[in-house]
């Protein structure tokens, strides 16, 4: 099968994340962004893995229209049993980094695909991230940059935050916010690359 991106259906990305959009662009897949707006705090009582799955599913459902392929993802960072969401200020970002310093945490990214018929597939991919023991000035430098304010856990592994991380166990792109390997496999299983919806194997 010769893959012709010009003949593929347009994906609807239920996200305003520039990082997720960038990853779809790198794959050469046609897409349009249609952000979903949810009250995420209403679901904060869920365990981290279930929260990531539920948020991605609800975002996809919120924007789906019959006949469309919709992709949604949501990332949750857990340190032990505690969730670290998007910091609301530089001070809170500084606090997150102090707690992550020298520790290993888990990043859960939920992924949902809704097919043109309305069929849904929802999954969660997880990766473990180990931070270096950070110096106070490094924490101040990164928090003051503002880079982490719109990111779960308060850092971006693909930007300046790359210098904070000692090791990643699992899919780097799960940490970045979109497990592209899993997305590609799900799209293939449902016949997206054949130009239409098929049955999952």
Helices (H), 128-192: 136-145, 172-176, 180-189
**Which member of 39, 74, 150, 166 is catalytic?**
74
Nearest to 99 by CA among 133, 150, 148, 76: 133
The answer to whether the CB of 147 falls within 8 A of the CB of 163 is no
User: Which structure tokens are listed for 11?
Assistant: 């994906």
Secondary element (H or E) of residue 62: helix 48-63
CB–CB of 41/76 below 8 Å?
no
Respond yes or no: is residue 74 known to be catalytic.
yes
SS3 percent helix, strand, coil of the chain, rounded to 5, is 40, 25, 35
Give 123's DSSP letter: E
The residues annotated as belonging to the active site are: 74
């Amino acid at each position: 099968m010769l893959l012709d991106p010009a003949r593929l259906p347009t994906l609807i990305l239920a996200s305003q994340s520039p990082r997720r959009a960038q990853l779809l662009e790198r794959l050469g897949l046609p897409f349009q962004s249609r952000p979903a707006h949810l009250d995420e705090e209403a679901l904060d009582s869920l365990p981290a893995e279930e929260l990531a799955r539920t948020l991605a599913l609800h975002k996809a459902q919120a924007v789906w229209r019959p006949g469309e392929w919709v992709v949604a993802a949501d990332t949750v960072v857990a340190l032990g049993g505690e969730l670290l969401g998007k910091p609301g200020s530089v001070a809170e970002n500084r606090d997150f980094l102090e707690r992550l310093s020298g520790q290993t945490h888990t990043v859960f990214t939920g992924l949902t695909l809704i097919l043109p018929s309305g069929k849904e597939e929802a999954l969660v991919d997880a990766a473990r991230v180990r931070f270096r023991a950070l110096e106070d000035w490094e924490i101040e430098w990164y928090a003051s940059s503002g880079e982490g304010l719109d990111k779960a856990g308060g850092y971006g592994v693909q930007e300046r935050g790359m210098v904070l991380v000692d090791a990643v166990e699992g899919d780097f792109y799960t940490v970045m916010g979109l497990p592209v390997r899993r997305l590609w496999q799900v799209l293939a299983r449902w016949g997206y690359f054949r130009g239409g919806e098929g049955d999952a194997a």
